[in-house]
A and B are shown apart, each in its own frame.
Chain A
Amino acid sequence: MRLLITNCHIIDPSQDMDALCDILIEDRQIKEIHEHKTKGKAQKNNSEQKTSAREQEIIDAKGMLVLPGLVDMHVHLREPGFEYKETIRTGTEAAVHGGITSVCCMPNTNPVNDTPGITEFIIRKTIQEGSCSVFPIGAITKGQKGEELAELGMMHDAGCIAFSDDGRPVMDSLLMRRALEYSRIRKMLIISHAEDLALAEGGVMNEGLLSITMGLKGIPAQAEEIMIARDIALAELTGGRLHIAHVSTAGSVELLRTARKRGIAEITAETCPHYFSITEEAVSGYNGNAKVNPPLRTRKDVEAIRQGLHDGTIDVIATDHAPHHKDEKSAEFDNAPSGISGLETSIGLSMRLVDDAVLTLKELVGKMACTPARILGLSDTKGTLRPGADADLVILNTKKEYTVAASDFRSKGKNTPFEGWTLKARPAVTIARGRIYTWE
């Protein structure tokens, strides 16, 4: 199959590119990129002339932005075990609907992805039913129980791209130390869900006056910060590669900033669109769709997260896509599960950072595609439009406003606190390993 995309306004920080181009895709890879010599006018270039005789599809991307397919490091696909919440099929459909062409899926399935067999199941299922690339994340500890190490090496060989007990921390500091040490056998990435379980016990929202006056048990910011401080110290001790998931507080940003200044090991960090878009006020009225862990924080935290994105302290924007069934979310607030269905609002919410001058467009694409690909060791094939890379890209309409409606989601999870929001950026076409998904 050959596909020519003309009049692409490419934003690709991996090759420092912000230019008008044509892209030729062949055999599920980026074949050629031709920069237009004359502004705004499609060039009759060699490749087009050469191939015009052959069967070839053409997409005109005039007026649209063309980005490398987004790479989401933090997604819950729920399969195996929780197929009523999401499946690999629906989760990857949701991903491409949101312009995301690579997802890393967290291991808190049932059974937990803590053995090569489960990893292989996810990979096989993705080949059969997936709309985009899926990179499984294995559990750090068996059953995510935090008691003994899972078979990290064998899972890595089976295709796990990183390791995390996400949803739970590894509370035992010695075990976390061992994980970070042992992970060096293959330079494996350890992703930390930073939460002191004792301090957070029973908590369902951010701790503060609002939690008290709503009668809900709060989780203090310190429950996250204590564990980030610990994990930074352990990374320093061990030389392991540490990535901090879903950073939500001002104090966490400051800890990471200080660690970076001291040049400690290799530590990276992500945040999620909800942590830079909304505050704890969103849970007012006991809105279960705004219940998420870590919880939505205060205005001050949102500002600090934005500053952390701006100054480079936070490397990555991931969704922590956590789909849940409607019946579960419409229970009592205390009993509703935590999580936001985020794949399909991520780019729209993140583009607001460009409007607010927090990030340049290039920086945004860096945090949503190039940098996660680099952290995951995928930068040859993912998060870039360089010739030879996988044909993963998103053609983004940034001109037309639209209203978020969960009923439009491809995800089974309709649990979003952004229902009714007006956003600007939405994928018109997503191409995932050469497969074309068109919505406009």
Chain B
Amino acid sequence: MNLRSKDLISIKDLSAEEIGHILETAAGFKDVLGRDIKKVPALRGKTTVNLFYEPSTRTRTSFEVAAKRLSTDVINIATSTSSVVKGETLLDTAKTVLALGADIVVIRHKCSGTPHFLARNIDASVVNAGDGTNEHPTQALLDLFTMKEFKGGIQGLDVAIVGDILHSRVAKSNIYALTKLGAKVRLIGPPTFIPDCLKDLGVDIYTDMNAGLEGVDVIMMLRIQLERQGKGFFPSTHEYFRNWGLTAARVGRAKKDAIIMHPGPMNRGIEIASEVADSSRSVILDQVTNGIAVRMAVLYLVSGVRG
């Protein structure tokens, strides 16, 4: 099976079958990562450019490791060191990158829609590593991969996503992916972070954390961006933790074997208590490892479309 597009921009654009195919491919690559020699020659001779317009350590590193495990050459371009600071337009940067011989461009940008713009304008495969408050598709894919690993499947799972849904590209990509694969999604947090119209996506909304966590299989916590505090989204981190912080007592509301996820980096004591983050239920580090396998699958599959 091939993906339909040369790019991986958005979970919205993927069918359930395509998501399933990416996860299966990732499972194969995860086996590779467990071997002595953790590298395959699948994309030897190809060039991957990591074009990061936003600071990122974990996602960029994860893509870099994934690309190297597939034997592609990797070029990292960060805005602070590139011509972007000299006022070069995105399109000019992209064309330059292409002229350098890039086959795959992995892009992160603070403006939503930037990968879409890039994909329309260049021939290379474009992979979205997070665009504004729109989507972070590979994060959702690695989250699904992790849920599948621990829960056996996605269909029928009760998944609670807690926090700033409005501004979270991770939450949005997860909502699209989980609902496509038949999970039941609950969104938990203050109404300033969860507009009512999100119900139209087929999810349930809770402002009461305890009620929302009742009987769920998966608790996915989101990082709270502290600068939102000054904008009136919530009065204080103290009040936030009181209402929506994940404590051991609240974890007790979920199913006994529920897993706890977080895309990182965590604010300990603000959205999640340390004891919970470090508990046996936490699969946060598994998410990081699985991220490499999933990104290998994505890079491999989009290359296959372009040939």
Which A residues are closer than 8 A to B by beta carbons? 208-209, 212-217, 285-286, 327, 330-335
Contact = CB atoms under 8 A, between A and B. Distances in A.
Interface string B1-15: 000000000001000
A286 B200 contact: no
7 contacts: A209-B195, A209-B197, A215-B135, A217-B133, A330-B89, A330-B91, A331-B90
Contact of A208 (B12, B89, B197): B197
B111 A335 contact: yes
B117 A332 contact: yes
Interface string B97-115: 0000000000001111110
Nearest to B135: A215
A217 B12 CA distance: 19
Nearest to B136: A215
A206 to B, nearest CB: 12
Interface in B192-222: 195, 197-198, 200-201
A291 B220 CA distance: 34
B290 interface: no
B132 interface: yes
Nearest to B176: A213
B90 A332 contact: yes
A286 B132 contact: no
B223 interface: no
Contacts of B201: 209, 213
B169 interface: yes
A286 B113 contact: yes
Contacts of B91: 330
Contacts of A285: 116
A92 to B, nearest CB: 30
Nearest to A335: B111
A35 to B, nearest CB: 56
Interface in B88-145: 89-91, 109-114, 116-117, 131-135
B116 A213 contact: no
Nearest to A330: B91
B16 interface: no
A334 B111 contact: yes
Contact of A286 (B12, B117, B133, B195): B117
A115 B255 CA distance: 71
B172 A213 contact: yes
B112 A334 contact: yes
Nearest to B90: A332
B166 interface: yes
Nearest to B165: A212
A212 B195 contact: yes
Nearest to B199: A209
Nearest to A328: B89
B197 A212 contact: yes
A212 B166 CA distance: 7
A214 B197 contact: no
Contacts of B117: 286, 330, 332-333
Contacts of B90: 331-332
B166 A214 contact: no
Given A327-B89, A332-B117, A215 B112 contact: yes
Contacts of A332: 90, 109, 111, 113-114, 117
Contact of B198 (A209, A217, A335): A209
Contacts of B169: 215
Contacts of A209: 195, 197-198, 200-201
Nearest to A334: B111
A343 B200 CA distance: 38
Contacts of B197: 208-209, 212
A297 to B, nearest CB: 14
A95 B238 CA distance: 59
Contacts of A214: 112-113, 134
A209 B172 CA distance: 12
Contact of A215 (B172, B198, B200): B172
A280 B200 CA distance: 17
Given A215-B113, A330-B91, A333-B111, 12 more contacts: A212-B166, A212-B172, A212-B195, A213-B172, A215-B131, A215-B132, A286-B113, A330-B117, A333-B117, A334-B110, A334-B112, A334-B132
Nearest to B115: A286
A330 B95 CA distance: 14
A335 B90 CA distance: 11
Interface in B152-177: 166, 169, 172
Nearest to B92: A327
Nearest to A332: B111
Contacts of A208: 197
A248 to B, nearest CB: 19
Contacts of B110: 334
A99 B132 CA distance: 42
Nearest to A283: B113
Nearest to A288: B117
A417 to B, nearest CB: 15
Given A327-B89, A332-B90, A213 B113 contact: no
Contacts of A216: 112-113, 132-134
B193 to A, nearest CB: 11
Contacts of A335: 111
B53 to A, nearest CB: 9
Q: Counting chain A CB atoms within 10 Å of each CB, which of B110, B113, B114, B169 scores highest? A: B113
Given A213-B172, A333-B111, A334-B111, A286 B116 contact: yes
B204 to A, nearest CB: 16
A330 B251 CA distance: 47
